[in-house]
Structure 1
Amino acid sequence: MTNNRPHLLAVDDEEINLRILEHYLSDSDYQVTFAQSSNQAWDYLTNADYQFDVLLLDWVMPDVDGLELLKKAKELENYKHVPAIMISGLSAPSAISKGLNAGAFYYLTKPLGQDVLFSVLKAALNELSSIRSLVENQDKFTDAFSLINHGQFNFRTLHDVNCLVESLSSMFPHNINTPIGLRELMINAIEHGNLGISYQEKTHLMEIDQWEEEVERRLLLNENTDKNASLNIDKNSDRVEITITDQGIGFDWEEFLEIDNERITDPHGRGIAIAKLFSFDDLNYVAPGNIVKVRIDLRPQ
């Protein structure tokens, strides 16, 4: 099925919950396919006529629960990087952490709010767009970047980050998670480091859909026009070590190295922890927090 609108797969065994989602999404720009069981959803996921851009998965279902369905979907080549949003009445922090650690992009608790749903869907589709761009461009600079042993790159804007990450992704042709993690750390260096956007400010900006506009506005301020961040590469035969440095005052990074239960439903704040889990073999910040070092082991393929 081809359609220019983003295609969502919504899975829930209770019809009332699917009707709520249908009501929320009926006048939106999304195309939605509904499944009332994991088995029905799996039939859609393995049908070549369907390609979904976001998965909305209920956790508790009688046949196969949403977490198991997510794990199975991630094993499919064309759904390896498609974001999944878990929806559940389970609001215990341990349950939320379990979903995120399994690879869910986000976790929403019932009853579901329409504004929160649309905000999370937009973030998920932005993430998917970035990943698809990385995948499409991953082979573009493979020969050139395979020759690099040492190098430094300076970056200042979100556009710089996207360009650099797309180029660097060719160094890791078998692991798209590494450039995704680098992108997270580089954006953190710009927004929080050089531009001083606080956690609370970013939460508000994302809620009103003005984060990117605020980043661009602050980049134009006189006190920020000369601020750059840097990315240094040190590569040998068995590993790549990357250091990212910004010109900020640092931050209390230790609380962001793990998925924090108190921030777990915020629209951001999990990127560093996810990167630590899935993107790198080692990640460490250097006090006061404006320098982060990561290591990627080069494994034979």
Structure 2
Amino acid sequence: MSQASVLVVDDEAINLEILSEYFEGESNLALHTTSNGEDAWAALQNPDNSFQVVLLDRMMPGLDGIGLLKRIKADPRLAAIPVIMQTAAGSPEQIREGLEAGAYYYLTKPYRRDGLLAIVHAALADAETRDALRKQLNQHVYSLKFMDQAEFSIRTVDEAAQLASFVAHACPVPDAAIMGISELLINGIEHGNLGLTYSEKSALKLSDKWQDEIERRSKLPENTNKRVHLSFRRSEKGVELVVRDEGQGFDWQKYLEIDPARAFDPNGRGIALARMLSFSSIRYEGCGNIAIACIDAPEGIPTSE
């Protein structure tokens, strides 16, 4: 069984000695001690170290426990590490401050060895559970390659980005697919459901007001219930994506190719680039509010397993 590394931070030498004794006999725990917040922060930043739990004294000169806790929780690489605060003061305000800053648990000095070890083991178990769930989520995303049919609907530009990232994982080459899927979804929102014209978008992009206008139009009563729908279908030939909006359509023919006349416009190349880089083909149906994009199955790469 591999050892879990525990970082103990306390400015009192006697406390470090006591804690070291408490952890004696815990063969699955490796102890690393520091006597101040700055040294602890340096140890946490050292890429050679990997701590699973931090046992942190609240009251220390210089960088105190709360300050170090806030640094830990603000660092994406460290935020998931459970931090157990230890303190001689147990006022509700101080405990609330620590919990709001992200402390996993509070231990009030003096405490018993068995109580300390129980909390450390509980923190380790919770951290392992969270890690397992994250790995499982990644496995599910990878497993999207097994998806043959799916239906989705979105309303906002932010949702379009999230859905594009998700569905791209089900395509033969995700990195190539994501830009094209995003382009079709965003076009469905802004030009379809929200009725934004090409010239309006150009002016808004140049004045850096595009996002504000999208948000304004999204809140209008006539648009609040409009959605863009995406159908995903996989066959032996490849992947077919059907994107349908609830707008009036647009004159799509001239946007399938890159027009030099629009070369200096801040927009207008998305569909053509998607056709070249993301999809094997794009065609439109209806009034232009239905886009059908196909991605051929690469040779030697199965479309379903």
Q: TM-score, normalised by structure 2?
A: 0.51
Secondary structure of 1:209's counterpart equals coil
Distance 1:141 1:272, change over 3 A: farther
8 Å contact 2:193–2:247 — kept in the other structure? yes
Equivalenced residues, count: 164
Unaligned 5+ runs, structure 2: 1-136
Secondary structure of 1:223's counterpart equals coil
Report the Cα offset of residue 182 of structure 1. 0.7
Instruction: Give 1 or 2 for the bigger CA radius of gyration.
Output: 2
Task: Calculate percent identity across the aligned residue pairs.
Answer: 38
Partner of 1:180: 179
Partner of 2:166: 167
Residues 77-129 of structure 1: per-residue CA shift (max 9 Å, x gap): xxxxxxxxxxxxxxxxxxxxxxxxxxxxxxxxxxxxxxxxxxxxxxxxxxxxx
Report the Cα offset of residue 178 of structure 1. 1.2
Partner of 2:217: 218
Secondary structure of 1:146's counterpart equals helix
Partner of 1:296: 295
Unaligned 5+ runs, structure 1: 1-137
Partner of 1:149: 148
8 Å contact 1:139–1:170 — kept in the other structure? no
Distance 1:188 1:230, change over 3 A: same
Partner of 2:272: 273
**Alignment-mate amino acid for residue 145 of structure 2:** S
8 Å contact 1:233–1:240 — kept in the other structure? yes
d(CA) in 1 for partners of 2:186, 2:204: 15
d(CA) in 2 for partners of 1:287, 1:174: 29
d(CA) in 2 for partners of 1:181, 1:142: 19
8 Å contact 1:140–1:170 — kept in the other structure? no
Q: TM-score, normalised by structure 1?
A: 0.52
d(CA) in 1 for partners of 2:159, 2:174: 21
Report the Cα offset of residue 212 of structure 1. 1.0
Is 1:282 the equivalent of 2:267?
no
8 Å contact 1:140–1:167 — kept in the other structure? no
Partner of 1:246: 245
d(CA) in 2 for partners of 1:224, 1:161: 16
Report the Cα offset of residue 226 of structure 1. 0.6
8 Å contact 1:141–1:170 — kept in the other structure? no
Report the Cα offset of residue 144 of structure 1. 3.6
Report the Cα offset of residue 281 of structure 1. 0.8
Report the Cα offset of residue 238 of structure 1. 3.4
d(CA) in 2 for partners of 1:168, 1:219: 24
**Alignment-mate amino acid for residue 258 of structure 1:** E
d(CA) in 2 for partners of 1:200, 1:232: 29
Residues 158-200 of structure 1: per-residue CA shift (max 9 Å, x gap): 1111111111121236341211111011100000000001111
